[in-house]
A and B are shown apart, each in its own frame.
Chain A
Amino acid sequence: MKLSNLFKGIRLPRPPAAAPPVDLPAPERVYLPLRQHRGAVAEAQVKPGDQVAIGQVVGASEEFESAAVQATVSGVVESIVQTVDPAGQKVPTVVIKNDGADTWVADTAEALADPAGAKASRPSRLLKRLRESGLVRAQVEGRPLHVDLSPPMAPQSYLYMTGIPVVRPVDTLIVNAVDPDPPVCPNLSCLTQVGEELAVGVAALARISGAKRVILALPAGGDASALAAMAGQHEWETASVSQTAYPFATDNLLVSALTGRQVPTPYGEPKDVGVVLMPLISALDVGRVLISGRPVIDRVFTVAGEVKNPQTFRVRLGTPIRDVIEAAGGGPSRPGKIIVGGPMMGLAIFDPATPVTRSTEGVLVQSAGNVVSYADHPCIHCGRCVAACPVNLIPSELGKLCEFRMYEEAAEMNLMNCIECGCCAYVCPAKRPMVHFLRHGKTEVLAGRME
């Protein structure tokens, strides 16, 4: 399948081959934000001074769009403090001091041994298990998995708001083993590590969503033989997806490339066109939760960029990112940026103590000398951004409109359909801060509509 040759976007260097994740010992203290996803903040279920065991729920919420938070080390709750998450929001955070004993709470859920078990269980029961386990989609601003998998809550008003004509029942599950934003590549490093977990995970995801067809998106040029062999056994389809065409592997565009269905934007999601899309690492986590009956307490986390040994770790949730960077040999002497997510879409954080959470997939470290600078230069109308925009917008025009505060006019030119992929800024010879303009414009449009 050579779909990517026709793809607009930009071409990035192929990510280096990734070794399987290395286990990182649990840190002295973990910091567990009570919101690790898009949605509501969980309420703390523990007080400072409480003794907790691994897997014990420390944060939970009645809200649907929220995820439970479990302790990832055993020890004493030291305090509950306010921290700032990568997106810049304040969030209460439970700090637990590790006693090193690694004691688990008594198992509550029974284990499902095999794919057959997953296939036989009722979807609602599986969904409940995922909700209790607090899994979150492995993606910056990812949503809790159970939200991603449930049918829309209130179909009528939802349809009205999004303007989507019909919602199709889900019939396709895409497991995406391609990392959209290399060189942060947690999926790539898990490629060879698949086994039982993936079989159970995929079976459960298919069962919950009702998908009949399973498609594995495999990275072209990666070592995907283990996955391909499994696909053969389980009658999953496979598709080879370019790793160098960016942003080909982001959700909506991948759905459209693999199924030919266009996800309605800006408010729609793959579910609306009958597709559920899961990153490989999320599918693996689902399998682990169901097989062990325990919540997942660690995270595959890539450290890329200017560190001594860029590599992928398996990190306890709540470990400060600083510690993981140290484990990778330490960052540059004059640090510039630490970016949660990849170079094109990631969020730069200001505090290296920000913890690893369920929705972080890795960091990119840049030294001060290599931080990009944008310019206050007029658009020279060269059209490179238009040739690169994967959703066919005219970024040059949108950028000018947003720069001159003509937000509604920009919205009429489909500003809201921008996926903030950053291709326009990447190619712009005038080095205009395109994504900054567009994001700012979007916020202003939303604020204007609220009034």
Chain B
Amino acid sequence: MNENLLTVSTSPHKLGGMSVRSMYLEYIIALAPALLVGLYYFGFPALITVLLTVASAAVSEFVASLIKKKPSNLSNLHVLCMGLMLGMILPPGAPWWLPIIGGALTVLLGMSIFGGLGAYPMNPVLVAWVALYISWPESMNAFLEPQALGTGDEWSEAETLLMQLKGDVSTFEMVELGALWLGNVAGFIGSTSAWALLVGGVYLLIRRIIPWQIPVGAVLGAIGMALLAAYTDPSILELGYEEFGANMNIVWFHLGAGGFMIAAFFLGPEPVTSPVTPWGTFLFGVGIGLMTIIVRTWGGLVDGAFYGVLLMNAVTPLLDRIRPKVIGKVVSGA
């Protein structure tokens, strides 16, 4: 054999260097700030929850790969990233078995039965989350009062702002927007801090990991719908806000509260389940924004962000049909 044989293959002969692994690594890097803030406020219970979720997801993937007799996908970080995301949308006071079941559901129910990475139709993290929520609503609402790291006080149970909002619209007036955006409120481990999520999201945008259309669409959709609600919903009108600025406070509240930010920047743009066409992605984002506010204002559930993502996942195949015009295509009969 001649050692110096040349390779022949199709172009291109050089690649951009992005791999599935590096893509999900960027995702994990971008999630880090929000996770750290969550760990700061919710301490040890939160850390255990997140670790258990990730570990359970990894073990499940390993077992699934044994059953399927295929090499496991662990090395490309996809499963770890999914486990991490689920951990970040679990409540800090969850019992120890909840994250374990959740991690397994993410992998088995969310991905493996559809054929793994690239084939599942709905965001596996949210599939698992919804399954947990339906099965154990009590445990999924085990929120804790945030406290700064190391104060060592007893953990006390708490209600999230959105839960309060359901009962009483005047919650809008009570919240401190600063604390809300900073993440110093009760909520899911990694989704309380809007600022941290925004930092991570902008990082993903700059690195071009996620399309800008989804978060921009989601934010625009949420702002539009929140203003519409503020100007039309009788119960909000009763609060007597006259000025635009006061109504904008409602908008800031909605953007910062609950799971909106993590849905707009991380769960929604999850590659496999989001559309690929430019207008498709934008409408996908808008849909998330609209659903979030509709459910929060008029719906029977507490937060609509995650359901918005799942709903838009379902319409993704339709959105992918909105194709851009092909350059140079001859329109026959013209």
Residues of A in contact with B (beta carbons under 8 Å apart): 10, 162-165, 252-253, 256, 262-265, 268, 334-339, 341, 343-352, 364, 366, 368, 371-372, 374, 377-387, 390-394, 396-397, 414, 417, 420, 422, 425-431, 433, 435-436, 439
Contact = CB atoms under 8 A, between A and B. Distances in A.
A380 B8 contact: no
B5 interface: yes
Given A252-B328, A417-B327, A435-B10, 12 more contacts: A163-B330, A165-B334, A337-B9, A343-B13, A344-B13, A349-B6, A383-B275, A384-B18, A385-B276, A391-B327, A396-B276, A414-B326
B69 interface: no
A306 B278 CA distance: 38
Given A334-B3, A337-B6, A378-B119, A426 B330 contact: no
B183 interface: no
26 contacts: A265-B327, A268-B328, A268-B330, A335-B4, A336-B7, A343-B11, A344-B11, A344-B12, A344-B13, A347-B11, A348-B11, A351-B6, A378-B116, A378-B117, A380-B117, A380-B271, A381-B118, A383-B211, A392-B323, A392-B327, A393-B326, A422-B11, A426-B14, A427-B16, A429-B19, A435-B10
B12 A391 contact: no
Main secondary structure on B side of the interface with A: loop
A451 to B, nearest CB: 22
Given A346-B11, A383-B274, A256 B18 contact: no
Interface of B: 3-16, 18-20, 22-23, 115-119, 208, 211, 271-278, 281, 320, 323-330, 332, 334
Interface centre among B18, B19, B323, B327 (most CB of A within 10 A): B327
Contacts of B11: 339, 341, 343-348, 420, 422, 435
Contacts of B208: 384, 387
Nearest to A400: B118
Contact of B10 (A343, A430, A433): A433
5 A-B pairs closest in CB distance: A422-B12, A383-B276, A382-B271, A378-B118, A265-B328
B328 A394 contact: no
A360 to B, nearest CB: 15
A386 B274 CA distance: 13
Nearest to A253: B327
Contacts of B275: 383
Contacts of A414: 326, 329
A426 B6 contact: no
Nearest to A395: B276
A392 B326 contact: yes
Given A348-B9, A381-B271, A417 B15 contact: no
Contact of A364 (B13, B276, B325): B13
Given A343-B12, A392-B326, A431-B19, A387 B7 contact: no
Nearest to B328: A265
A362 B203 CA distance: 39
Given A366-B13, A433-B10, A265 B329 contact: yes
A390 B325 CA distance: 11
A164 B330 contact: yes
A420 B12 CA distance: 9
A350 B8 contact: yes
B13 A337 contact: yes
B327 A390 contact: yes
Nearest to B119: A378
B10 A339 contact: no
Interface centre among A341, A364, A431 (most CB of B within 10 A): A431
Contacts of B277: 383, 386, 394
A7 B271 CA distance: 23
Interface centre among B7, B324, B325 (most CB of A within 10 A): B7
A371 B211 CA distance: 30
B12 A345 contact: yes
